Amino acid sequence: MDACLDLTGQTIEVIVGAKKHVPFTIHENVICASSQFFKKAMSGEWSEAKSRSVRLADEDPDVFHIYTQWLYHDTFPVRVDKPGVEGNAEYLLLAKAYVLGDMLQDGNFKDAILDAMVEKTESKLSNDTTLFPVGPVIRHIYDNTMESSEARRLLVDLYTEHGRGDWLRKRASREDLPKEFLYDLVVAVLDKRYWRYPTRAPVPDPCAYHQHKADNSICYKNRLAQKPRKRQRT
Ligand SMILES: [Zn+2]
């Protein structure tokens, strides 16, 4: 949002949603100063400029509402401190808002959304824990953004820096973990480990992978050591 909101000039109507057609009335100056999409749509060549009405059939009115709240009040109307599914639903709403910001070509809005996500990872929930975005949030971002997306990078960084195996094992279903995310994450984790511990770690004890389990004394290597081994020609 601009520091000095320009409430002069005319308003336009934005009709949002496929099933429900929810109308929003917004100042043209306000939305065009923030969104390149609207700036183009209202630039004169398009029919939207004449009708002063823009139809966003593929967008969710609840998500567009978040955008208008931010445009006019510089805030997000959501703030859930409940753990689990409800807390994650808020992340999902932010993820959807981010994708909307991509479509509207509003860089400041996208930045503000990512800041809200980071802030949410730092804020304590009602049960004194913190919550990071899990499965469906990752899926939504990866399904709807480009490879170079900053939102993808944030998710990978959050997992690389703070993640635990349980986040994937227990909190996410496998269908919600896109292959590209897992690839990005593994690369980031390996790089991080390498640069933090660049000296080579000791090779693991090979017996750790043998069939004999705990009792190393019955290892096949010991058996061979006891018998003199015949040399065989190949
Ligand atoms: Zn062994």
Model confidence over 28-68: pLDDT tens digits?
999 999 999 999 999 877 788 888 999 999 999 999 999 99
Confidence (pLDDT) at 1: 46
Q: What is the structure's pLDDT at 229?
A: 54
Verify that 127 and 160 share a domain, yes or no: yes
Distance 199 CA to ligand 1 centre (A): 26
Per-residue pLDDT tens digits of the chain, which is 234 residues long: 445 788 888 999 999 999 999 999 999 999 999 999 999 999 877 788 888 999 999 999 999 999 999 999 988 766 766 666 677 888 999 999 999 999 999 999 999 999 999 988 988 877 888 888 988 999 999 999 999 999 999 999 999 999 999 888 888 888 889 999 999 999 999 999 888 877 777 788 889 899 998 888 889 988 776 655 555 555
CA of 208 to the centre of ligand 1 (A): 7
Angle between helix axes 150-162 and 107-122 (nearest 10 degrees) is 20
Q: Are 167 and 132 in contact (CB under 8 A)?
A: yes
| Residue 234 counted as domain residue | no
The 10 Å Cβ neighbour count of residue 198 is 7
- Measured in angstroms, how far is the CA atom of residue 226 from the centroid of ligand 1? 14
24 located within any domain: yes
Would 136 be classed as within a structural domain? yes
Q: Are residues 105 and 155 in the same domain?
A: yes
How far apart CA 42 and CA 50 sit, in angstroms, is 8
- Residue where a domain terminates, one of 74, 105, 135: 74
Asked if residue 108 and residue 168 are part of one domain, the reply reads: yes
26 and 99 within one domain: no
pLDDT attached to residue 186: 97
CA of 196 to the centre of ligand 1 (A): 31
Q: Vertex 34, ends 58 and 154: CA angle to 5°?
A: 75
Q: What separation in Å is there between the alpha carbon of 198 and the centre of ligand 1?
A: 29
- Which of 26, 52, 74 delimits the end of a domain? 74
What's the domain range around 203? Answer: 78-226
Q: Which of 16, 15, 115, 33 is nearest to 72 (CA)?
A: 33
Show which of 47, 74, 101 is a domain's final residue. Answer: 74
160 with 201, same domain: the answer is yes
Going from the Cα of 186 to the center of ligand 1, the distance in angstroms, rounded, reads 30
What CATH number should be reported for the domain holding residue 39? 3.30.710.10
d(CA 192, CA 60): 38
Strands 53-56 and 22-27: unpaired
**Does 98 lie in the same domain as 62?**
no
> What pLDDT sits at residue 231?
58
Please tell me the total count of domains within the chain.
2
Using alpha carbons, select from 183, 119, 123 the residue that is nearest to residue 152.
183
Residues 30 and 144 in one domain: no
